[in-house]
Amino acid sequence: MAQHTSTVQALLIERIGYERRGLSHRVAQVDELLTRLGVPIPVETASIEPQVETAARKKPTKRKKG
């Protein structure tokens, strides 16, 4: 395990990046590599769904004649 320390650290950092970007298939691939190296997979107990904001256009103001 000591010889794989830098590899494990790199994989954990890579896994965090994939999680943030929502690439679950890549997270699964990294998890598979970590299990091969004998590292327990970090498991989140609670997740918060991100709130998506949508832009709303304001109605254009009408010009006054005159």
To the nearest 10°, the Cα dihedral for 11, 41, 20, 46? -160
Measured CA to CA, the distance from residue 24 to residue 12 in angstroms comes to 14
Q: What is the pLDDT of residue 30?
A: 92
Query: Is-above-0.75 flag for pTM?
Result: no
Q: What is the pLDDT of residue 61?
A: 82
Q: What is the pLDDT of residue 11?
A: 92
Boundaries of every domain in the chain: 2-36
Residue 3 has which token pair?
């010889």
CA 16, 22, 26, 31 dihedral sign is positive
Q: What is the pLDDT of residue 2?
A: 54
Residue 13 has which token pair?
């950092």
To the nearest 10°, the Cα dihedral for 11, 13, 19, 20? -160
Q: What is the pLDDT along the chain (66 residues), one digit of tens a residue?
A: 556 788 999 999 999 999 999 999 999 999 999 999 888 886 766 566 677 777 787 888 888 776
